Amino acid sequence: MSVRVRFAPSPTGFLHIGGLRTALYNYLFARHNDGKFVLRIEDTDQSRYVEGAEQDIIDSLEWAGMKIDEGPGKGGDHGPYRQSERKDIYHKYAEQLVEQEQAYYAFDTVEEIDEMRERLKKSGNPSPKYDSITRQSMKNSLTLPQDEVEKRLENGDEYVIRLKVPRKESIRFEDEIRGHVSFETEGLDDQVLLKSDGMPTYHLANVVDDHTMEITHVIRGEEWLSSTPKHILLYNAFGWDAPIMAHLPLIMSPSGGKLSKRNAESEGIPVNTKDYISGNYEPDALVNFLAYLGWSPGDDSEIHTMEELCDLFTLDRVSKGGAVFNYKKLMWYNENYIREHSVEELKPRVEALFLGKGFEIPDDDFLTTVIELLHERVSKVDEFTSMGAFFFEAPTAYDEKALKKWKDDSPMLVQSYKARIEQLSEDEFEAVTLKDKLKETIEEHDVGFGKLMMPLRIAVSGQGFGPDLFPALELIGKEEIIKRIDTALNKL
């Protein structure tokens, strides 16, 4: 049987980075096994539906380099791939369960259920359930006379369909990642399968879809582990074989807890994939990083392309414990990938970034040189424009920290250097010569290299760090450099 996996997010907002990793593991597993990667949109909660979320999911997957085999907009033999378009299917299956007496209609209002729970709580039951005991005193097709049930149905009274969860039964299953897992049905509510708005709940829709879409492996976050017995119960009720389950460890925030908008952004970690896109992160770096958050190939390797990851990925190497998101490691990956990308690869993106900042690029050689000069020093592609702005315009301000290196003798030294390079013709204004002139200057005044270097760098770029200075001076050109030195001498 060929492998089919699915990524099944709900369109309730932008795609979360944890969701992206779940998608990634599904994708890697599919590719590794020559299987299919299906996207299914779980839009059964109309109140939480967010316009544009589905597109965001699709865009995010594409950006990260995951190709969908079947899904909305893409098509396939198992559609539709949006749950809101499969209502009839769920109805049919829910009714089937009622007929089989494995489920029943319930007419209780939310208020009535709350009341029941409150009452039981007061009488000492800490976690009251709508279960095999309490359902006997509620308004449902198990307690109401047959004709009243029919009348209510005909009248169009609101109802839900609930699963008849057995009273005391052990549900055991094998999880690919965790091994043996078992739950008792005691402690489970009679799950609502069909909501009063006609939509299925996650549990029903998920099971029906996974079965009808012929999903072989369910790879999802650990937050679903305790729902799995409900799903097993459903598979059993339908007489279907359950797919193989694999529950992934959660991605945690450095401050503790499941990575969420709240606890992540306060740590400087973007949570939505779109933030990584607009933040100019390298998709292959993020993918590499995410793959290693909860999985490792077992050797000492760290850097792998998507293709290599597809090759290496197996579920038995996924770890069980939650993994804390390490932003610095992500940045390390990002730097690595930038360095691995050639100047030619980088060029269009960097050009767009510079243009976006309103800088005019004189010619292609100029851009090439700028990128070459900054290539090894940049950890995110947008730093080309922050670190490299001075190639295009004179510094508008001088970095305060850098200014500490602007000492009493700095003006004199800079002045002295300026006098020397002013003598140079345009042709002579090149890196080697400029460096020689600096040597001459420091020798004359008997000071160390840094004594002149730093002030010069500050005068020209406004910063205390940056690319190799002499080629930068050459690129910017004599006239402009002299001008910047004069300005600095004036201001500082």
Positions marked catalytic: 261
User: Minimum CB separation from RNA for residue 332, in Å?
Assistant: 4
Q: Which of residues 106-145 bind RNA (CB under 7 A)?
A: 108-110, 113, 126-127, 129-130
User: Minimum CB separation from RNA for residue 491, in Å?
Assistant: 21
If one asks whether residue 231 binds RNA (CB under 7 A), the answer comes out as no
* 302 CA to centre of own chain: 19
If one asks whether residue 73 binds RNA (CB under 7 A), the answer comes out as no
The span of 53-61, 142-150, 181-189, 390-398 binding RNA (CB under 7 A) equals: 181-189
If one asks whether residue 294 binds RNA (CB under 7 A), the answer comes out as yes
Report the residue number, 34 or 417, with the smaller CB distance to RNA.
417
CA 221, CA 9: separation in Å to the nearest integer? 11
Report the residue number, 49 or 366, with the smaller CB distance to RNA.
49
Q: Which of 27, 90, 183, 429 binds RNA (CB under 7 A)?
A: 183
Site string for RNA, 316-345 (x = CB under 7 A): -x-xxxxxx-x-xx-xx------x------
Q: Decide: 201 and 191 in contact? Cβ < 8 Å.
A: yes
Residue in this structure with the two tokens 């839900």, named with its chain if needed: 160
User: Minimum CB separation from RNA for residue 278, in Å?
Assistant: 23
Q: Which of residues 437-456 bind RNA (CB under 7 A)?
A: 439, 442, 448-450, 453-454
Report the residue number, 42 or 56, with the smaller CB distance to RNA.
42
If one asks whether residue 298 binds RNA (CB under 7 A), the answer comes out as yes
Residue 408 carries which side chain, given as an amino acid letter? D
Q: Decide: 466 and 457 in contact? Cβ < 8 Å.
A: yes
Report the residue number, 2 or 319, with the smaller CB distance to RNA.
319
Site string for RNA, 140-179 (x = CB under 7 A): ------------------x-x-----------------xx
Site string for RNA, 349-378 (x = CB under 7 A): ---------------------------xx-
Q: Which of 101, 150, 184, 479 binds RNA (CB under 7 A)?
A: 184
Q: Which of 143, 227, 314, 368 binds RNA (CB under 7 A)?
A: 227
Secondary structure percentages of the chain, helix, strand, coil, to 5: 50, 10, 40
Q: Which of residues 43-62 bind RNA (CB under 7 A)?
A: 44-45, 48
Give the residue among 445, 367, 41 at the shortest CA–CA distance from 206.
41
Site string for RNA, 194-213 (x = CB under 7 A): -xxx-x-xx-----------
User: Minimum CB separation from RNA for residue 207, in Å?
Assistant: 12
Full DSSP string of 131-192: STTGGGGSSBTTTS-HHHHHHHHHHT---EEEE---SS-EEEEEETTTEEEEEESTT----E
Q: Which of residues 378-407 bind RNA (CB under 7 A)?
A: none
Report the residue number, 308 or 468, with the smaller CB distance to RNA.
468
Report the interhelical angle of 410-422 vs 431-445 (nearest 10°): 130
If one asks whether residue 268 binds RNA (CB under 7 A), the answer comes out as no
Q: Which residues contact 212 (CB under 8 A, 6 or more apart)?
A: 78, 89
Give the residue among 107, 104, 9, 24 at the shortest CA–CA distance from 55.
9
User: Minimum CB separation from RNA for residue 237, in Å?
Assistant: 18
Q: Is the peptide bond before 80 cis (omega within 30 degrees of 0)?
A: yes
Report the residue number, 168 or 180, with the smaller CB distance to RNA.
180
User: Minimum CB separation from RNA for residue 111, in Å?
Assistant: 9
Q: Decide: 486 and 427 in contact? Cβ < 8 Å.
A: no
Residue in this structure with the two tokens 């993918």, named with its chain if needed: 287
Report the residue number, 68 or 323, with the smaller CB distance to RNA.
323
User: Minimum CB separation from RNA for residue 419, in Å?
Assistant: 19
The span of 67-75, 254-262, 274-282, 341-349 binding RNA (CB under 7 A) equals: 254-262
Q: Decide: 177 and 315 in contact? Cβ < 8 Å.
A: yes
Number of residues that bind RNA (CB under 7 A): 85
Work out the end-to-end distance of the chain between its first and last CA atoms, rounded to an integer number of angstroms. 75
If one asks whether residue 271 binds RNA (CB under 7 A), the answer comes out as no
If one asks whether residue 249 binds RNA (CB under 7 A), the answer comes out as yes
If one asks whether residue 433 binds RNA (CB under 7 A), the answer comes out as no
Q: Which residues contact 117 (CB under 8 A, 6 or more apart)?
A: 128
Q: 430-434: long-range contacts at Cβ-Cβ below 8 A with a sequence spacing of 24 or more?
A: 430/474, 431/468, 431/470, 431/471, 431/473, 431/474, 432/470, 434/470, 434/473, 434/474
Report the residue number, 70 or 190, with the smaller CB distance to RNA.
190
If one asks whether residue 219 binds RNA (CB under 7 A), the answer comes out as no
Report the residue number, 87 or 377, with the smaller CB distance to RNA.
377
What tokens does 302 get?
């760290």
Q: How far is CA 398 from CA 112, 162, 467, 479, in A?
A: 68, 68, 17, 20
The span of 5-13, 25-33, 51-59, 144-152 binding RNA (CB under 7 A) equals: 5-13
Q: Parallel, antiparallel, or unpaired: how do β-strands 36-39 and 4-7 relate?
A: parallel
